[in-house]
Amino acid sequence: MSRLFEPVRIGTLALRNRTVMAPMTRRASPGGVPGADVREYYLRRARGGVGMVISEGLAIDHPAAIHHPAVPDINSPEALAMWRSIAADVQAAGAAFVAQLWHTGGARTKYEDVVNPEVPSISASGVYFPGKPYGEPLNEAEIEAAVLSYGRAARAAMAAGCDGINIHGAHGYLIDSFLWRDTNVRGDGYGAANRTRFAAEVIAECRRQTRPDFPIMLRFSQFKEQAYDAKLAETPGELEAFLEPLVEAGVDIFDCSTRRFWMPEFEGSVLNLAAWTRKLSGVPTMAVGSVGLDNDVISSQHQRLSSGVASLDKLEAMLSRGDFDLVGIGRALISDPEWVQGGAGTAERAERLRRGGSGRAGLALVRKIRLIPSRLNRIRRHPAVADGVDSLALVDHRARRDPPFAVAAFQPVDVADVDDEVACRGLSGVG
């Protein structure tokens, strides 16, 4: 049996295989409450055979946590009732369900119309883009309030029947603003010399407010949205020192976010970030980054490069070496909810995707555009799809004067995953 599709147990998590639906922001829950469409979105992937589903980022109850009113939360009674129902449905379909806890931190400053605009955005040092302060550093009372907010969200997730939590500490968001030296210029006990302290306190509080055996995942990344070449650790020694206090705080699984899972992390070694993290910490890890595809999300989004279907041979070799325990899959599962069951990584699968996905309606995702009723002129039938398949393609207005920007060159995605407003980043995430 393929290592990817064999059962695995990590603590209380007994998974039918090593595949995980990676967390991907969608902004499809008006007022913070997920609806039936969100339930179906997750349920399709669970029915498709993944071992675990990780939710999109769910807002903790801090007033400056998010930037968009359609980001779901895990605080209100209405939202909690829906997550309880979604978790139960996903579990009944055979997958574990894990809630990702999210505070955007200083990234919120990039947006104009934010939730609670009267509340200042927060970060370690009042810095989102290095060298460009936008506000004041958090004081210790404010730090404590944020820590407690994460703890309450963890308790809510457990009460909703989730199988664990995934704390988002990557990509330049709130926790990462403490971890990354370029945005942590504090001079106190939370400064760069103790950069993991805030994250460790968040983990410990989540542990305090849940069961001793309740699974806690921590997502971290070297790269940031502000700087794709950023590094939290330049050497294995630095990474080991970085991980140690997080392990002591109670992390059960490290979610190691990269753009390309196959890339070595440090010179002179073939190991990627997840493999090094597992080796140095002794804690199970999840690799993520363009699994099943031949190009990363940043290149697809900003360089107009399409992503084709890639072989899983390299992934299988890394799993066989014991490099990591779980595999996070993002865009490949958006394109095909049945990716796990239907010949993932095979030539036959690639042809099915080229022709419009798994037989369901498909969309060719062009780039960051919006699909709203007043702009239906941007939609036309996908010429590569067989007769009888209800498939549409999003066409950016620039395609008319930019022939290489042809719709047939882009990865199809399930039309049922596109709501009234869709952005490339919202669908793609990093995976």
Residue 387 CA: distances (Å) to CA of 113, 287, 351, 352, 359: 43, 38, 16, 14, 11
Q: Record the pTM.
A: 0.83
What was the pLDDT predicted at 349?
55
What was the pLDDT predicted at 293?
83
Is the per-residue pLDDT at 142 higher than 90? yes
Which residues, other chains included, contact 337 with Cβ-Cβ below 8 Å and sequence gap of 6+? 44, 45, 47, 48, 358, 360, 414
Residue 15 CA: distances (Å) to CA of 26, 96, 98, 344: 25, 7, 12, 18
What was the pLDDT predicted at 346?
52
Q: Which of 68-77, 178-187, 395-404 has the lowest mean pLDDT?
A: 395-404
The catalytic residue positions are 173
What was the pLDDT predicted at 306?
54
How far separated are the first and last CA of the chain, in Å rounded? Answer: 24
What was the pLDDT predicted at 168?
98
Q: What value does the mean pLDDT of the chain take?
A: 82
Beta strand segments in 18-68, E:
19-21, 52-59
Average pLDDT over residues 139-167: 98
Which residues, other chains included, contact 388 with Cβ-Cβ below 8 Å and sequence gap of 6+? none
Band (pLDDT 50/70/90 cuts) for residue 352 is: low
Tokens of 181: 């030296």
Residue owning tokens 């950023």: 230
Q: What share of the chain is helix, strand, coil (3-state, %, to 5)?
A: 35, 15, 50
The type of residue at 137 is P
Helix or strand holding residue 166 (H, E): strand 164-168
Dump pLDDT digits (tens) for 288-316.
999 988 765 555 454 445 556 778 999 99
Is the per-residue pLDDT at 356 higher than 50? no
What was the pLDDT predicted at 311?
83
**CA-based nearest residue to 72, from 373, 430, 426:** 426
In angstroms, rounded to a whole number, what is the distance separating the alpha carbons of residues 12 and 289? 26
Tokens of 138: 């958090």
Residue owning tokens 């969608």: 26
Residue owning tokens 């294995």: 236
The type of residue at 191 is G
Do the beta carbons of residue 132 and residue 206 sit within 8 Å?
no
Band (pLDDT 50/70/90 cuts) for residue 253 is: very high
Do the beta carbons of residue 430 and residue 400 sit within 8 Å?
no
What was the pLDDT predicted at 173?
98
Average pLDDT over residues 355-379: 35
What percentage of the chain reaches a pLDDT higher than 90? 72
What was the pLDDT predicted at 335?
83
∠ CA 35-91-277 to the nearest 5 degrees?
100
Is the per-residue pLDDT at 387 higher than 50? no
Residue 354 pairs in a beta bridge with none
Is the per-residue pLDDT at 388 higher than 90? no
**CA-based nearest residue to 307, from 366, 237, 389:** 366
Is the per-residue pLDDT at 390 higher than 80? no
What was the pLDDT predicted at 307?
55
Do the beta carbons of residue 361 and residue 416 sit within 8 Å?
yes
DSSP secondary structure code for residue 193 in this structure? G
Band (pLDDT 50/70/90 cuts) for residue 92 is: very high
Maximum Cα–Cα distance for the chain, whole Å?
65
Do the beta carbons of residue 179 and residue 196 sit within 8 Å?
yes
Which residues, other chains included, contact 346 with Cβ-Cβ below 8 Å and sequence gap of 6+? none
CATH pick for 3-357 out of 3.40.50.620, 3.50.50.60, 3.30.200.20, 3.20.20.70: 3.20.20.70
Beta strand segments in 65-151, E:
96-102, 127-129, 132-133
